[in-house]
Structure 1
Amino acid sequence: MNNVLPIYHIGLIQAWFAALLVYRKPNKGAADKLLVIWLIVIGIEMLYSLLNAKYLTWLPDLIIIPLSYGPFLFFYTKLLTSKKTVTIRNIHRHLIPVYLFILIAVFWGKPIDINSVNFFSKGPITWLAILNFTLFLLVIVYYWRASLKLIRKHNHTLGDHFSYRSETIMLNWLKTTAIWILSGFFASGITFIIFSTQNIFPFNPIELFHLGLLVFTFSISYYGIHQPVLYQHQKPKQLQVSDEAQEKKSQKFGDLLYEHMVKNKPYLNNELTIQDLADQLKVSTQEISNYLNKELGVNFFNYINSFRIEEAKQRLTNPAFDYETLLGIAYDSGFNSKTSFNTLFKKETGMTPSEYKKAFRSSTKKST
């Protein structure tokens, strides 16, 4: 057991130090605050295991605290992806498995050592360990699926809020982390089943679990620190106006928006969000979204990138920009990658940027 003590020491320090870094992160959101709590809980799990391994060996050697990791993953994802204010007051009912095994450990009245499991004798400790691992895997699978469902739903509506695509706003890192936590915990559970059926325990399967937890902590703390707040929550305005007044207001807003786009070119910011545009116009994001969807029939992503494409066209056909590379034109027009530039430009014009430039030069020569 002593050979795994460094895992607990490193995990404890890493989890609590990461919690401090996230806590000191500027512009924290609700998801960041929950992540701080989650990292503290992971640190407590590492401390608990360290005490159980070296000092307080009478502590129950069961998966108790990690039964909360599924709910933590789900609510962290929900707070990141929700466009409305979310409260987690009901998180306690998601922690019932944790409370259940705390009560079992308290009323058991004696040490619960995983090394005492004997699948063939099927004693009480064996059935308890099997119940523990089975419930843990069921909890992880349930909340893993729920978290991925939230991420998919989030990605379907990105175009209404963002004018670009990136790893952080698409939450690809969180999806990978969710897959990692599932596969790692399953490996721990399967290892336990194999060892118990063969009645051999070359090492405690919980050690494998903690090794995976250590890597997981590094991952979620690194990406969590760099994860920006995706949505700023606003209370929707409840104003009732006549259809005629609404039409005039919409026309006025449309003129204001178009004038701002042409004059100030906010689309040149390759990380422009609907919140940024709303702040510039001193309106709500709901006003912009309603106008684009109802009056123009487009989402925010397509609206902003239509201006970027027009900007790129001007630069591609203007000899003054011949010194610029296609990548340079893409960035200067507001695109954040050459791939998105080529894809969106070809979708709009039917040609790649280089083909468009050649076609324009060819037609210009013929006309002269």
Structure 2
Amino acid sequence: MFLTYASLYLKLNILATIISPIGIIIPFALGPLIFHYIKTIYTSKIDSQKFIRGLLPSFIAFFAYSIPQYYLGLPIDGKTVIFQAILLVIPFLGILYLAYYLFLSNKLLKHYKRLVKNNYATLNTLDLKWLAIWIRGFILFLIIDIISGLLIVAYPIHSILIYINLFYLVLLIWYIGYYGINQVQVFLVNDISPEAIKKEISHEKKIKSKPFYDCESEEFMELKIHLENVFTEQKLFKRQHLSLRETANILDVSDKKLSHLLNICLDSNFYEYVNKHRINYFTKQLKEGAAKNLTLLAIAFDSGFNSKATFNRVFKQQVGMTPIAFKKLSDKESQSFQ
């Protein structure tokens, strides 16, 4: 794609003739590739038939675009009006096809993020913001490309507009590469199986239609008390990589029941529940004077957090102020009490 824009900017017709059929059909392939890449992050298998069907338009577009391009070269006169129309319609369809798959990818990513929050207490190695950057980056590229394309049709300032596309692509490629190198963990195939995802989706659909567990039942009231007692007495929240399944095994209940208790009965998720206990423990330690001997970060790590950024973000969300501001307020209150 970069070489396609570069050849147009440099006005190298020979290079553009060779490269552009590949660059033009890339949006047809890029959408399905991103979508199925996201699926491989969380599952160990992919439906090969759906994957091939998703890529099929890219092969059709390549032959429809490349044959007239390679055979006749760049059409520049009235004799090749049909081929000029093809060269305009195919890129436009490619943009629409990519936009459709970016929409699907964004929807899938949101579902998986929710799934991870329902199953894990720590997200800094599982959140995969890298994928969100891919999607948002290409959505912005589509907007820039459409605007520049319309302006090229309206005004004869091709080189300047192509330069904008080139500059943005350079930044996007560099940023994705830089962020990708710093991505700690990518594949979660050992953590979430395709079967688990299907069960989770099925479970969500059942909940939306009709809850099959009664939150007011004696069983769930006892489970709620048991969960609270276990977290308080055993301090499970201190385990940085605690999972829903591990907690369910400790409680001797199914992970489905525990998930229902957290998501429906308590209107929360596993990630939020664990971090609420971590924040409560942190604030309690501050009030008891732990900050005299330890730094705030050391107390945060002792509470179960393993990232300063995550701790600061979660603390501000739950308490409404930064840890430092809370410490100052807590110190003032203790002094006035004395």
Class of the TM-score when normalised by the shorter of the 2 chains:
0.5 to 0.7
* Separation (CA, whole Å) in 2 of partners of 1:59 and 1:343: 48
| 1:134 Cα deviation from its structure 2 partner | 0.8
Q: For 2:148 and 2:283, how far apart are their aligned partners in 1?
A: 59
Matched with 1:43 is none
Matched, 1:148 2:148: no
**Does the C-alpha gap of structure 1 residues 179 and 307 become closer, same or farther in structure 2, counting only changes over 3 Å?**
closer
CA shift, 1:130, in A, is 0.7
1:148, distance to aligned residue in structure 2 (A): 2.5
- Indicate which of 23, 30, 33 corresponds to 1:69: 30
- Structure-2 separation of matches of 1:117 and 1:186: 27
Counterpart position of 2:304:
334
1:345 partnered with 2:336:
no
Tell me the TM-score normalised to structure 2 length.
0.65
1:178 alignment partner AA:
I
Question: Residue 177 of structure 1 contacts residue 220 of structure 1 at CA under 8 Å; is this kept in 2?
Answer: no
Instruction: Structure 1: give runs of 5+ residues left out of the alignment.
Output: 8-51
User: Equivalent residue for 2:210?
Assistant: none
Matched, 1:134 2:78: no
1:72-83 maps to which residues of 2 (within 5 A)? 72-78=33-39, 80=41
Task: Number of aligned residue pairs: give it.
Answer: 305
Deviation at 1:267, TM superposition (A): 0.8
CA contact (8 A) 1:163 1:300 kept: yes
**In the alignment, residue 163 of structure 1 is paired with which amino acid?**
A
Match of 1:111 among 55, 71, 74: 71
1:144-293 to 2 correspondences below 5 Å: 144-155=102-113, 159-163=117-121, 166=124, 169=127, 171-184=128-141, 187=144, 208=166, 215=174, 218=177, 221-222=180-181, 226-227=185-186, 229=188, 232-233=192-193, 234=196, 250=220, 257-278=227-248, 284-293=254-263
Q: How does 1:290-329 map to 2 (within 5 A)?
A: 290-293=260-263, 296-319=266-289, 321-329=291-299
Shift, 1:288, TM fit? 2.0
* Structure-2 separation of matches of 1:146 and 1:271: 30
Identical columns (%): 20
The verdict on how the C-alpha distance between 1:305 and 1:182 changes in structure 2, with shifts beyond 3 A counting, is closer
CA contact (8 A) 1:261 1:267 kept: yes
SS at match of 1:90: helix
For 2:262 and 2:36, the matched residues in 1 are separated by 31
**Equivalent of 1:99 in 59, 78, 95:** 59
Q: Which amino acid aligns with 1:100?
A: I
Cα separation, partners in 2 of 1:62 and 1:247, compared to 1, 3 Å: closer
* AA at the equivalent of 1:315: Q
Query: What SS is found at the alignment partner of 1:182?
Result: helix
> 1: CA distance between counterparts of 2:155 and 2:267?
63
Q: Distance in 2 between matches of 1:359 and 1:216?
A: 46
- Give the Cα separation in 2 of the matches to 1:103 and 1:258: 63
- Between the aligned partners of 2:286 and 2:264, the Cα distance in structure 1 is 32
Shift in CA distance, 216/137, structure 1 to aligned 2, threshold 3 Å: farther
Alignment check: 8 A CA contact 1:64 1:101 kept: yes
Report the counterpart of residue 90 of structure 1 in structure 2.
50
Q: Is the alpha carbon distance of 1:121 and 1:337 closer, same or farther for their aligned partners in structure 2, counting shifts above 3 Å?
A: farther
Contact 1:160 1:301 in 2 (8 A): yes
Question: How far apart are 1:251 and its partner, in Å?
Answer: 6.5
| Alignment CA distance shift 1:266-1:157 (3 Å) | same
Q: 1:300-348: CA deviations, max 9, x gaps?
A: 234223322332243123245522233432332224423422432359x
- Paired letter, 1:93: R
